Structure 1
Amino acid sequence: MTSFSAAAPSPRARTTALDLGDFVTASPSSFHAVRESARRLAAAGFTELDETARWEAGDVAGDRYVLRDGSLIAWSAPEGAEAATPWRVVGSHTDSPALKLKPNPELGAEGLAQVGVEIYGGPLLNSWLDRELRLAGRLALADGTTVLVETPGILRIPQLAVHLDRAVNQDGLRLDPQRHLQPILGLGDTDVLELLAVRAGVAAEDVVGFDVVTVDSQPPALFGAHEEFLASGRLDNLSSVHAELQALIAVAAEDRAADPAPIALMVANDHEEVGSASRSGAGGPFLEDVLVRMHAALGGDEASRRQALASSMVLSADAGHAAHPNYPERHDPVTRPRLGDGPMLKINAQQRYATDAVGIAAFVAACESAGVPHQTFVSNNAMPCGSTIGPITATRLGMTTVDVGLTLLSMHSAREMCATADPLLLQQACTAFLRG
């Protein structure tokens, strides 16, 4: 009889990982991720605020959320919150690398209908080959409204057969983004915009704009000898959005009136994968707008707002690299984060991550409070380092910021993987951090 390994995830960790899979499935685009987050918040008793309305003190009290395109901000203000109350912020991003539908997307050759796409972010291009792909995003209509849309797996980018590229396994696969990545949609003439309109329940002639991306159609799944791994698309960075969302819901359900408590707030920005420079990205004004308006509604002025910001703190959560067993030389020789060992602090001397000693201490304290193991990530000196919303948020608002993340393999693939145990550990660390 086979013994049950210590590597097997706990029932609670397994349940959390499966719930993350459900969250990813419901979030094929950043707009869907915001809708699913809002649905979960509303079910937990949060109330939506209209960004275009005037906010009074009663509007920002308690549990609230605000939407802007593919971004969301939600908070739980404790009883007695005032202008001097600091914020504890957890931040992440809703977008993932993909292929994005071009304007005038109808293409065709050799009797096959194709779809014109361009690259969004920095995907591993080869991972998008030979997969059935969905389309998901939003359609803008002539009357000024928008509708969300998603399709089943209707696209595929077929790889050239080895018989027609005999050297591919020796010389490596080389993909021209313009020539080799246009998906096949059907036989003969097929209008992709007509298909999207039908799926959305609107007239094709009413569609005047769209933000639509490709999505792998394979659902998330647990795998491994003891189901100790989760495979899924968009773990970068829906794993962080999910952890922070569930952490905020958990904190909002607690009685925090007895002791002074911060305003617990989460922000999930769009467009991180393409630089964050948009009205709903971390480089835009969304978070600052909400904090300024919230603080004013609580009776504060600019001086007291600056005081509150100075005593506030941000945890920026974005997935990071686990040490790869087949490419050990690509990682730092000493600091080698592993799957299943808990969330990691992300540190970079060039401030590509915003973590400093003060932030490290705060995150370590949160992990120890929650009983969560933690580890550290630093890049190999010969490998350029990525970045997150952390440095951007710290620069815009001046709040102490620490960058952390779940460990992944296959980052920016159409299908990434993490340890089944890690989503729960990140969620528990975020919960403790929000408590302050």
Structure 2
Amino acid sequence: MERKVAWNERSQEDLAAMEQLAEEYRWFISENKTERECTQAAIALAEAAGYKPLSRAIAEELPLQPGDKVWAQAKGKALILVHVGRAPMAQGLNILGAHIDSPRLDIKQNPLYEAQGLALLDTHYYGGIKNYQWVALPLALHGVVAKTDGTVVDVVIGEDETDPVFCVTDLLPHLGRAQLAKTGDKVVEGEDLDLLVGSFPAQAEAAEGEGEGVEADKPEAPKDPVKARFLQLLEEKYGIGEEDFLSAELEVVPAGPARELGLDRSMIIGYGQDDRVCAFTSLKAQLALAASPVVPDTTAVCVLVDKEEIGSVGATGMTSRFFENTMAEIMELAGESGMLLLRRGLEASRMLSSDVSAGFDPAYASVFEAKNSAYLGRGLVFNKYTGARGKSGSNDASAEYVARVRRVMDDAGVFFQTAELGKVDAGGGGTIAYIPAEYGMDVIDSGVAVLSMHAPWEVTSKIDVYEAYRGYEAFLRHM
């Protein structure tokens, strides 16, 4: 059952629409490299499409009617968009769910130190990374610093062409014999992923009274002059001091924009495509409903959550009550109050857990099972189950639900394929799918095939991005 290559089947009009979407996508992932930035950008796009904050509707006790569109956010790092349909929500929702966090390096709370004339920041890696991939490449710093006076300072350094960048250093091969003898997971240790941020020492300050006819003491040099200069620059540019690192969320990510890949410009290489490629296409599909004058039959929901890369935990992850509480508030305003109706609605819902799949890479063919792999250029990927080895930790979608999804995709002319995450005993992985499935709803994983997943720079096919968008929109409209 070899699937068709989507490139060969699309019209010039389709390919033009694909290019436009790909440009929007490249902009989105280039400008939004953290979950906070993704949330802010998505809210701006949603409000431009007519969405209103749920918090206002709650405060003013505004009833929600079919066609109304609201958004809710959790601590600036997770977002839910809801487009109210004509049918009662207790009969079920059509839900797209993706995550907006990506593997990276996080700055520790007490990070700054000087060693042999260099200033460095300690980091703690986030999510599943190969440590050695993060050395010797330009890195940027994104995040926020919350000060005790209540102000929050946004930090982005390394993205503008005039900005400096940072890096994690590597050992030269001439001295690396012992390093290269180590296994891949030990070549670069986690504690060695320190960010190089400066080497220029602060100038010594003259003692008080110098130049006033009084014999002055010799200028006093700071104990750690390079660290001192780094702190001076932080104070001058951002008004923050060393103590403010205690209440900061600073993320180290690859510097620079996503680029077109290949002489034919058919692919995109960029940071954070797991899972922002699915988050972006889910968001675009949700907003496409707002552009139509027709109210959807079924309420459409787009859920963009944090913390999937570390187990979907915390107040902004899928295991939190954010999704459930938001839907309870919305159903209350829509006149469907009560826990029983909420439970009925969640159980009757249908969801695409929008997450990426491993694209077949001929350089590493030995870990893939060719008949059940995802291939770049063959469209949206469906994973009936993920998990590891014996499907451990997997949500295994029912045959009946898979058949319904197939019908929707076929009717909409969406190119799609099915896949597993490598050979049975080669490894595995998970998504958020099993969490909403606990309500009893039907859930299946679907997304875009990715090469070099979890590397600083990941690769996707433009045509797959386009088919994902088309498939997600078809699901919201017709499931």
CA distance in 1, matches of 2:189, 2:182: 18
Q: CA deviation at 1:293?
A: 1.3
* 1:235 counterpart residue number: 273
1:201-212 mapped onto 2 (5 Å cutoff): 201-204=238-241, 207=244, 209-212=247-250
Aligned CA-pair RMSD: 2.6
TM-score by length of 1: 0.90
Residue 225 of structure 1, CA deviation:
2.8
1:98 aligned onto 2:140 = no
Distance 1:302 1:166, change over 3 A: closer
Cα distance change on mapping 1:71 and 1:356 into 2, 3 Å: same
SS of the residue 1:309 aligns to: helix
Aligned counterpart for 1:307 among listed residues 341, 344, 361:
344
Give the letter for the 2:436 counterpart. Answer: T
Alignment of 1:382-393 (within 5 A): 382-393=425-436
1:267 to 264, 286, 303: 303
Separation in structure 2 between the aligned mates of residue 363 and residue 148 of structure 1, nearest angstrom = 42
Aligned partner of 2:52 among 47, 70, 75: 47
**Corresponding residue of 2:252:** 214
Superimposed CA distance per residue, residues 64-93 of structure 1 (whole angstroms, 9 cap, x where no aligned partner): 111112100011113x45453521110000
Residues 1:195 and 1:40: Cα distance change in structure 2 (over 3 Å): farther
> What is the Cα deviation at residue 55 of structure 1?
6.9
Higher Rg of the two aligned structures: 2
Match of 1:360 in 2: 402
Q: What code does the residue aligned with 2:411 have?
A: S
Q: Which moved more, 1:157-166 or 1:316-325?
A: 157-166
Instruction: Indicate which of 177, 183, 189 corresponds to 2:189.
Output: 177
**Aligned position for 1:146:** 152
Q: Secondary structure at the match of 1:316?
A: strand
SS at match of 1:328: helix
Q: Secondary structure at the match of 2:247?
A: strand
1:277 is paired with a residue of what secondary structure?
A: coil
Rounded Cα–Cα distance in structure 2 between residues aligned with 1:204 and 1:12: 48
Q: 2:80 corresponds to which residue?
A: 73
2:198 to 164, 168, 186: 186
Give the partner amino acid of 1:164: L
> Residues of 2 paired with 1:198 and 1:262: CA distance?
53
- How has the CA–CA distance of structure 1 residues 264 and 195 changed in structure 2, closer, same or farther, with 3 Å as cutoff? farther
Whether 1:377 aligns to 2:419 is: yes
1:429 paired residue number: 471
Structure 2 counterpart SS, 1:122? coil
Partners of 2:460 and 2:234 in 1: CA distance: 32
Distance 1:45 1:66 in 2: 14
Give secondary structure in 2 for the equivalent of 1:89. strand
Q: Which amino acid aligns with 1:161?
A: L
Check the 8 A contact 1:346/1:353 in 2, yes or no. no
Match of 2:207 in 1: none
Whether contact under 8 Å (1:101, 1:115) holds in the other structure is yes
Deviation at 1:211, TM superposition (A): 1.3
Q: Tell me which residue corresponds to 1:276.
A: 312
Closer, same or farther: CA 38–138 of 1 in aligned 2, 3 Å: same
Q: Distance in 2 between matches of 1:197 and 1:53?
A: 40
Kindly state the Cα deviation for residue 197 of structure 1 after the two structures are TM-superposed.
6.4
In the alignment, is the contact (CA less than 8 A) between 2:63 and 2:335 conserved in 1?
no
Choose the corresponding residue for 1:111, options 108, 117, 128. 117
What do residues 182-217 of structure 1 show as CA deviations (whole Å, max 9, x unaligned)?
121110424667656665x44448945111111101
Q: Distance in 2 between matches of 1:325 and 1:334?
A: 14
Gaps of 5+ in 1: none
Which of these residues, 7, 21, 27, is aligned with residue 22 of structure 1?
Answer: 27
Note the alpha carbon deviations across 1:347-405, whole angstroms, 9 max, x for none. 3344524433233223222322331111111131112321011111212x321111111
Look up the SS of the partner of 1:255 in the other structure. Answer: coil
- Choose which of 64, 70, 95 in structure 2 pairs with 1:64: 70
Question: CA contact under 8 A between 1:318 and 1:403: conserved in structure 2?
Answer: yes
Identity among equivalent positions (%) equals: 25
Cα distance in 1 for partners of 2:256, 2:98 equals: 24
State the Cα distance separating 1:333 from its structure 2 match.
4.2
Return the alpha-carbon distance in structure 2 between the equivalents of residues 358 and 154 of structure 1.
51
C-alpha separation in 2, matches of 1:198 and 1:382: 54
Q: 2:17 corresponds to which residue?
A: 12
Question: Match for residue 122 of structure 1?
Answer: 128
Shift of 1:223: 1.6
* 2: CA distance, partners of 1:235 / 1:314: 21
Partner residue, 1:38: 43
Shift of 1:147: 4.1
Which among 330, 334, 347 is matched to residue 298 of structure 1?
Answer: 334
- Select the residue among 154, 158, 162 that pairs with 2:169: 158
Question: How many angstroms does 1:323 deviate by?
Answer: 1.1
Q: Distance in 1 between matches of 2:441 and 2:151?
A: 36
Q: Distance in 2 between matches of 1:354 and 1:196?
A: 50
CA contact (8 A) 2:142 2:250 kept: yes
Residues in 1 aligned to 2:364 and 2:319: alpha-carbon distance in whole angstroms: 34
Alignment check: 8 A CA contact 1:51 1:67 kept:
no
For 1:290, the aligned partner's letter is: T
Deviation at 1:273, TM superposition (A): 0.4
Distance 1:55 1:403 in 2: 37
Classify 1:76/1:105 alpha carbon distance in 2 versus 1 (closer, same or farther; 3 Å): same
User: What 5-or-longer segments of structure 2 have no aligned partner?
Assistant: 1-6, 159-163, 202-225, 386-390
Partners of 1:380 and 1:186 lie apart in 2 by: 45
| CA distance in 2: counterparts of 1:136 and 1:287, whole angstroms | 27
Answer whether contact 1:88 1:314 (CA < 8 A) is retained: yes
Determine if contact 2:114/2:227 at 8 Å carries over to the other structure.
no
Work out whether residues 83 and 299 of structure 1, in 8 Å CA contact, stay in contact via their aligned partners in 2: no
Contact 2:125 2:190 in 1 (8 A): no
8 Å contact kept, 1:330–1:380: yes
1:141 positional shift? 2.5
CA shift at 1:175, angstroms? 3.0
- 3-state DSSP of counterpart to 1:156: coil
Mapped to 2, the partners of 1:281 and 1:363 lie a distance apart of 26
